[in-house]
Chains A and B, each alone.
Chain A
Amino acid sequence: EVQLVESGGGLVQPGGSLRLSCAASGFTFSSYAMSWVRQAPGKGLEWVSTISTSGGSTYYADSVKGRFTISRDNSKNTLYLQMNSLRAEDTAVYYCAKNRDTAMVSPLDYWGQGTLVTVSS
């Protein structure tokens, strides 16, 4: 059974940093690109970032480019999101999600339960 478990969310002040983790199990983690998607309270889904299987290619939404860094450790089956210079508008539930297929161009099929990040003073 595929499982994605996020952790690391919490309350942080504007300008602060946070590192999210996503522990994966039930599939061959190193074979799938992975993504972070966020959802602000009461709002829709917003893609944040995607990383290739090896970690050699990364992609970011314009809203987080230069502030967030996605990475992965295939030996630990774990996905990360380093978030710096956080703003109030980054407040959201952050989900990690896996590609359905091993190709980079693929829909997201499995999602974690999400971790809440609140940016407030």
Chain B
Amino acid sequence: DIQMTQSPSTLSASVGDRVTITCRASQSISSWLAWSQQKPGKAPKLLIYKASSLESGVPSRFSGSGSGTEFTLTISSLQPDDFATYYCQQYNSYSRTFGQGTKVEIK
């Protein structure tokens, strides 16, 4: 199975900060990677797919990059609504796997 490792696990930041989250795959997944945002008690929301494609309706301050085994999610200017947990998800194979999550907290 493909393992996904996210870092950091927790991130403290202020409104307006540039934030970067990293996700590493245990083997190459080409660009078959998505990023989702989850708020407490809510279902995840898709932000980015195919490593760098922005899902419709998602603010342009969110961006994704990478291919192969290393990927990043960047929030260019953190907004109050962005404090949440972020998960990467590989869908290279039918047995998709998620990273362990990165919680973005208010500094």
Query: Which residues of A are at the interface with B, using a C-beta cutoff of 8 A?
Result: 35, 37, 44-47, 50, 59, 61-62, 95, 100, 104-109, 111-114
Q: How many A-B residue pairs have CB under 8 A?
A: 58
Q: Cβ of A47 and Cβ of B95 under 8 Å apart? A: yes
Chain A residue at minimum C-beta to C-beta distance from B56:
A109
B28-66 interface (Cβ within 8 A of A): 32, 34, 36, 38, 42-46, 49-50, 55
Q: Which B positions have Cβ atoms within 8 angstroms of A?
A: 1, 32, 34, 36, 38, 42-46, 49-50, 55, 87, 89, 91-101
Which of A44, A50, A113 is within 8 Å of B96, CB to CB?
A50
**A114-B43 contact, Cβ under 8 Å, with A45-B101, A62-B1, A100-B49:** yes
Pairwise interchain contact A44-B100, C-beta atoms closer than 8 A: yes
Q: Give 15 new A-B contacts, CB below 8 A, not counting A44-B100, A47-B98, A108-B89.
A: A37-B98, A44-B98, A44-B101, A45-B89, A45-B98, A50-B96, A95-B43, A100-B49, A105-B32, A105-B93, A108-B36, A108-B44, A108-B96, A109-B46, A111-B44
